[in-house]
Amino acid sequence: MIKKEEQQALIDLANEARRRAYVPYSNYPVGAALRTKSGRLYTGVNVENAAYPQTMCAERVAIFKAVSEGEMEFEVIAVVTNNGGSPCGGCRQVMAEFGLDALVLLADGAGALQKVMTVSELLPEAFTPKHLQNG
Ligand code: THU
């Protein structure tokens, strides 16, 4: 369980990271902050590219940073955008890979929590590693 103050601290961390978003094309900065079950914190921002499809979302940056440090069990991820926008389909799929029960906190640019949901709520009927075990 994550307490209200901890939720806000994670949102604030994501919002602070968001200042480092590299968004010369969309001007839509996104910040993410991920807390693992072991209590470690990883932030991410969107990083755009002149070759547009090479852009990487903030959520995936945070998740890939965690996984590359050997952390694969996530408790909660906060995502901050100007307007409380929701994670894209690709990020939902990447979240689902590492657990459907993690909480997702969506907040706006003022750091106000807009929505709380689980990964399974964000991506119902997810395709997960389990499907490959008896395929
Ligand atoms: N973006 C994210 O960082 N996360 C999402 O889940 C949605 C989209 C970024 C990608 C791009 O840099 C900008 O937002 C506009 O699509």
Is the model's pLDDT at 134 over the cut of 90? Answer: no
CATH number of 4-130: 3.40.140.10
Is the model's pLDDT at 20 over the cut of 90? Answer: yes
Residue 135 banded pLDDT, cuts 50, 70, 90: low
Question: Catalytic residue among 5, 48, 59, 71, which?
Answer: 59
User: Is position 59 annotated as part of the catalytic site?
Assistant: yes
C-alpha to C-alpha distance for 22 and 32, rounded to whole angstroms? 13
- What percent of the chain clears pLDDT 70, i.e. is strictly above it? 99
How confident is the model over 54-94, as pLDDT tens digits?
999 999 999 999 999 999 999 999 999 999 999 999 999 99
Q: Is the dihedral of CA 45, 7, 128, 37 positive or negative?
A: positive
pTM across the whole model: 0.97
**Average per-residue pLDDT for the chain:** 97
Please classify residue 39 by burial: count the beta carbons closer than 10 Å to its beta carbon, then call 0-12 exposed, 13-18 middle and 19+ buried: exposed
Whether 83 lines ligand 1, by a CB cut-off of 6 Å, is no
Both tokens assigned to 35: 């807390």
Whether 58 lines ligand 1, by a CB cut-off of 6 Å, is yes
